[in-house]
Chain A
Amino acid sequence: AQSVSQHNHHVILSEAASLELGCNYSYGGTVNLFWYVQYPGQHLQLLLKYFSGDPLVKGIKGFEAEFIKSKFSFNLRKPSVQWSDTAEYFCAVSLSGGSYIPTFGRGTSLIVHP
Chain B
Amino acid sequence: KQEVTQIPAALSVPEGENLVLNCSFTDSAIYNLQWFRQDPGKGLTSLLLIQSSQREQTSGRLNASLDKSSGRSTLYIAASQPGDSATYLCAADGQGGSEKLVFGKGTKLTVNP
Q: Are A and B physically bound partners?
A: no
Residues of A participating in the B interface, judged by any CB pair closer than 8 Å:
none
